[in-house]
Amino acid sequence: MTGPSIPRLLLLGTGGTIAGTAPESTQLNRYAAGVIGAEALLTTLPQLNRLAEIQVEQITNVDSADLGFNHWRDLVSRLRQILAEDPGLVGVVITHGTNTLEETAWLLQLLIDDPRPVVLVGAMRPASALSADGPLNLYQAVQVACSADARGRGVMVVMDGQIHSARDVAKRATQGVGAFHSAARGPLGWVDDFGVHLSGVERSASVPFAGLSLPTIWPQVVILHGCVQPSAALIPALLSAGVEGLVFTGTGAGQLSAVERNALAQWQGPRPLMLRANRCGMGPVHRCEDHARLGLLPAGDLSPQKARVLLLLALINGDDRNTLASRLMVV
C-alpha cells in the first residue's frame, strides 16, 4: 500500500540576491546577484523533498535591476503555458531579486488568471552569506504554494516569514531581512514551522488584463519625481520625444508644482496617458479638478512603480483615459 502522493510544484528561477554569491561569507553588500541556478538552490534544501515534487526551470539569471520587458514577456508566457497545460500542478514559486520584485509581482497579478498560488520569493543576503535568509524564504514560499488555503488569493510574495499580496507589498529598506512590508493593509498572513496562517478576510485580487498578449516592443512610460523647483525643461522634452505615458510622483498627496502644471498647460501636442502617485510611500491620491483638467488621473494608493506597470499594460491594451479611469476604481 502506497502513501499519499506529495504535490507537484513548478519553480521558476530569475536570479537576484537569493542566487548571489560573494568572495567572503561575511560580505553582505559586495556580491554578484544571479550566479547560482535555480536547480542548484534546491540541492541546498533537501527538506523541500518532504513538501513537494518540484520541477525547475530557469527563465533568466540576472540582478533584478537589470530585468527587462523581454524577461517579463518570457515569464508571463511560460506561466500561462504551464498553468493551462498542467492541471495537476498545485502552484508556482518564482525566485526573484528584491530590487524590482514588487513590480513583477504586480505585473503577474494583473495578467495571470488562475486560482493556484503564484508565489514570488527573494533574499536580502546572498546565498554565500553567514545566516543567508534565502533558504528559509524559499522553503516557506514552497509551503505557501502548496497550501490549499493559498488558492484564490492572487499573486503573493513571501519574505521573512510574512505573506504579502502583490498589490500591497513594497520594499522599504536597503538592508535587513525584514525589508518588505504592506504598509496600508498589512500582510495577508505568515508562515512558520506550524504551517501557513492566512487571514480569513478576502482581498480583491482582480486580473484586469487576463489574456492580454505582450508585445516585443513596449510603450515608453516615464516616472517623474516631484521635488523643490523641478526642471521646466523636462516635461516638454519628454512630450516632444513622444512618450506614451507619464507617472508623476507628486509631493504630498500627489500634488504637481506650478512649474509642472504650467508645462502641461502650455503643451499643444497630443497628451499621453498620465497618472498621479505620491512619494510618501503610504496614503491615497484623490481626484483633483485642477489636475484633471490637464489630463491627469489619480493612481489611488498605488506606488509610482506599480502605477507605471498598470499604465504600461493599459497602453498595450489600447485603453483610453476613460477606460483607464474605470480600471483604477477596481484594481
Scan for cell 548571489, then name that residue.
20
What is the predicted pLDDT for the residue at 205? 78
167-197: b (≥16 Cβ within 10 Å) or e: bbbbbeeeeebebbbbeeeebbbbbeeeebe
CA neighbor of 92 nearest in space, from 120, 113, 50: 120
What is the predicted pLDDT for the residue at 4? 65
| pTM (two decimals) | 0.96
pLDDT, tens digit only, all 331 positions of the chain: 445 689 999 999 999 999 999 999 999 999 999 999 999 999 999 999 999 999 999 999 999 999 999 999 999 999 999 999 999 999 999 999 999 999 999 999 999 999 999 999 999 999 999 999 999 999 999 999 999 999 999 999 999 999 999 999 999 999 999 999 998 899 999 999 999 999 876 676 789 999 999 999 999 999 999 999 999 999 999 999 999 999 999 999 999 999 999 999 999 999 999 999 999 999 999 999 999 999 999 999 999 999 999 999 999 999 999 999 999 999 9
What is the predicted pLDDT for the residue at 204? 66
The reply to whether 323 belongs to the active site is no
CATH code assigned to 221-328: 3.40.50.40
Task: Show the beta-strand stretches assigned E in 160-244.
Answer: 162-165, 170-171, 180-181, 189-192, 195-198, 221-225
3-state secondary structure 286-326: CCCHHHHCCCEEECECCCHHHHHHHHHHHHHHCCCHHHHHH
Cα gap 147→305, rounded to integer Å: 30
For Cα atoms 319, 203, 304, give the angle at the middle one, nearest 5 degrees: 45
Give the containing element (helix H, strand E) for 53. strand 53-62
190: β partners: 162, 197
* Segments making up each domain of the chain, as ranges: 8-198, 221-328
Fold of 8-198: Rossmann fold (3.40.50)
Single out the catalytic residue among 17, 98, 104, 249. Answer: 17
Fold match flag (8-198 vs 221-328): yes
Scan for cell 480583491, then name that residue.
204
What is the predicted pLDDT for the residue at 177? 97
Beta strand 8-15 pairing with 53-62: parallel
pLDDT in tens, 155-181: 999 999 999 999 999 999 999 999 999
